[in-house]
Amino acid sequence: MAKRIKMIINPNADMGNAWKYAADLRHIVEGHGETSWAGTVYPTHASTLAQQAAEEGFDLVVAVGGDGTAHEVINGLMKVPKSKRPVFGIVPFGSGNDYAHNLGIPDDAKKALHAILDGEIREVDIGSIEDEKGRLEYWDNTINIGFGGNLTIYSHKKPLLRGFMMYFVAVLQTIFMRYVVLDVKIKIDDKKWDGKTMMICLNNGPREGGGFITGPKAIMDDGIFDYQILDKVSRLMMFRMIPEFMRGTQERFPIVNPGKFKTMEIESQQPLVLHADGEVYSGFAHDTRKLSIKILPKEIKVMVPKE
């Protein structure tokens, strides 16, 4: 039986060039089965399209876009039972493309599509995040609370920049404009951590922000998440830590508290600004102060290049 493939494209990806370049991908998909294309027209539309594709019996749902598109598609797939959930694929067309990178998918869109159509299935972990109001989302790659959440909001305001440079400029802006210290109480499985922090990194994959290695030891199918909690530091020390987080060498500093977890509860005296997979979960205008995060081991089947 031929595959049924759903291609969900974010036309605004790659600074609005994704739809134009998508024509070059059509001939690659031909011959691999029945293919249907759909473009997103509003925020979270990719989730709706992915859910519909799953309910209509598609075998493979491919996100053509960046980390945000992948995040939305996976949230749509999670709305159907696991037994009916299609395999997920991603063709990177975004600014960071960190999830695709962590899965070993080529940066070039044509090579990526070839790789997933001729690839193999890998079962990977994902996570859930829920706030005190009961708002539930799923995440596939990283959550960053505090510094990284602020950085994401600033990066979204840089339409003329892309990739790592967009995030780097946002890093500098965050250091000088959003010096926020969080007083938090964290329950990590059966342990507790209380203190002041600038940033909490939660990782399924090692890379985020177009090239920052916030979880250097993270493995996407090992059934456990990695975390790193950065103590309160000065602006100067935050600047000093940038190259360490770029290389993934930050754990050699005692101000970084690393570990692994399956469940985590966070309570903060200050509002929590955070992103999930590069999408703002709680922004400057929110008042989120409690979070519950947990892992769902091997919950999603993903097409990746063959070994």
Last residue of a domain, one of 97, 118, 139: 118
DSSP single-letter state for residue 157: T
Per-residue model confidence as pLDDT tens digits over 98-113: 999 999 999 999 999 9
35 in any annotated domain? yes
Per-residue model confidence as pLDDT tens digits over 263-306: 999 999 999 999 999 999 999 999 999 999 999 999 999 999 99
DSSP 225-284: EEEEEEEP--HHHHHHHHHHHHHT-GGGSTTEEEEEESEEEEEESSPPPEEETTEEEE-T
Residue at token pair 């190259």: 243
Q: What CATH number is given to the structural domain containing 36?
A: 3.40.50.10330
Dihedral angle computed from the Cα positions of residues 249, 266, 44 and 147, in that order, rounded to the nearest 10 degrees? -40
Same domain? For 151 and 113 the reply is no
Same domain? For 89 and 166 the reply is no
Same domain? For 142 and 73 the reply is no
Same domain? For 110 and 138 the reply is no
Number of domains in the chain: 2
Tell me the pTM: 0.93
Same domain? For 275 and 143 the reply is yes
Same domain? For 90 and 208 the reply is no
Same domain? For 99 and 174 the reply is no
304 in any annotated domain? no
User: From CA 102, how far away is CA 4, in angstroms rounded?
Assistant: 26
pLDDT for 145 equals: 98
Same domain? For 203 and 160 the reply is yes
Last residue of a domain, one of 55, 86, 118: 118
Cα angle at 11 between 145 and 4, to 5 degrees?
100
Same domain? For 113 and 147 the reply is no
Is the pLDDT at 2 greater than 60? The verdict is: no
Per-residue model confidence as pLDDT tens digits over 67-93: 999 999 999 999 999 999 999 999 998
Domain containing 28: what range? 3-118
